[in-house]
């Protein structure tokens, strides 16, 4: 098994999974309780794909956490200002109400996309990381077992949106980022940085009992080559047809195949 990652950017992302589960200081969640926190859900597309083995998934988790934590830091989100829970194929991140939600779109999405692109450029298929990220805002209610609140449910539903999964699979993009209508209207629509609000597409989301609208953004071109057309030994294209590309000028008589002249 070859990960094809020696010397690649992912080397900087190792050992991050050993970080403490709770990235926020003791009591932070209780302090934030009932306040409007930014909630990020992320997961890796195809994490359980049979083409991956356990070593592959360990590498993917290391890369995912490295990319995520580095992007949060580069976006000005201090470790004291967010809490995270591991979700196996991704993470739940709750960010303090003191952190501007806009910064979790721009520059965060840009940092995520750049880091993923750098990793995927060198990675073999089995350790390539396509990341889905959902963002919403609302009050989070901690309890003895974890976190609750409608915002947690709604953000999880956005992450599972079939339209997001289908778009990521079809495009081969490195990052699929989806935000609630509230986040788009209140924050994304007013961005003036590298990420253009017009790059977001309005989509309909129906997951379980949730039906809502959201805004989707894809970043990173796919690396998958287009499937070649079937060729015939008698020609350049399908079924022996000859295919021209570019400008073609024909002077005189050009016939492909048999030429039959009927005389009267």
Domain-located, residue 246? no
Q: Into how many domains does the chain fold?
A: 1
Domain-located, residue 179? yes
The pLDDT confidence band at residue 211, using thresholds 50, 70 and 90, is very high
CATH number of residue 124's parent domain: 3.30.70.1230
Domain-located, residue 144? yes
Domain-located, residue 104? yes
Domain-located, residue 178? yes
Domain-located, residue 257? no
Question: Which pLDDT does position 27 carry in this prediction?
Answer: 66
**Rounded to whole angstroms, how far apart are CA atoms 239 and 234?**
8
The pTM for the full model equals 0.76
Looking at residues 218-229, what average pLDDT do you find? 57
The pLDDT confidence band at residue 25, using thresholds 50, 70 and 90, is low
Question: Which pLDDT does position 263 carry in this prediction?
Answer: 46
Looking at residues 18-30, what average pLDDT do you find? 57
The pLDDT confidence band at residue 147, using thresholds 50, 70 and 90, is confident
* Domain enclosing residue 133, as ranges: 9-219
Domain-located, residue 252? no
**Does 246 score more than 70 pLDDT?**
no
| SS3 (DSSP) at 110 | helix
Domain-located, residue 226? no
Task: For the chain, give the mean pLDDT.
Answer: 82
Query: For residue 125, what is the DSSP state?
Result: G
């Amino acid at each position: 098994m070859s990960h094809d990652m020696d010397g690649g950017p992912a080397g900087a992302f190792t050992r991050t999974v050993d970080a403490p589960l709770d990235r926020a200081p003791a009591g932070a969640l209780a302090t934030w309780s009932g306040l409007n926190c930014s909630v990020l859900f992320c997961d890796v597309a195809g994490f359980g794909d049979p083409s991956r083995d356990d070593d592959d998934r360990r590498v993917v988790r290391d890369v995912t956490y490295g990319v995520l934590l580095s992007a949060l830091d580069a976006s000005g989100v201090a470790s004291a200002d967010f809490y995270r829970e591991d979700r196996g194929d991704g993470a739940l991140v709750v960010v303090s109400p003191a952190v501007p939600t806009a910064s979790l779109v721009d520059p965060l999405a840009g940092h995520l996309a750049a880091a993923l692109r750098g990793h995927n450029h060198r990675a073999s298929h089995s350790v390539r990381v396509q990341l889905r990220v959902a963002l919403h805002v609302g009050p989070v209610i901690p309890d003895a077992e974890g976190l609750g609140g409608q915002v947690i449910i709604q953000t999880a539903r956005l992450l599972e949106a079939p339209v997001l999964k289908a778009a990521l699979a079809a495009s081969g993009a490195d990052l699929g980022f989806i935000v609630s209508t509230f986040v788009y209207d209140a924050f994304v629509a007013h961005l003036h940085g590298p990420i253009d609000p017009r790059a977001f597409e309005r989509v309909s989301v129906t997951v379980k009992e949730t039906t809502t609208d959201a805004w989707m953004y894809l970043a990173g071109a796919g690396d998958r080559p287009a499937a070649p057309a079937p060729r015939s030994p008698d020609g350049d294209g399908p079924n022996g047809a000859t295919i021209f590309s570019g400008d073609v000028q024909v002077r005189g008589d050009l016939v492909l195949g048999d030429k039959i002249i009927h005389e009267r």
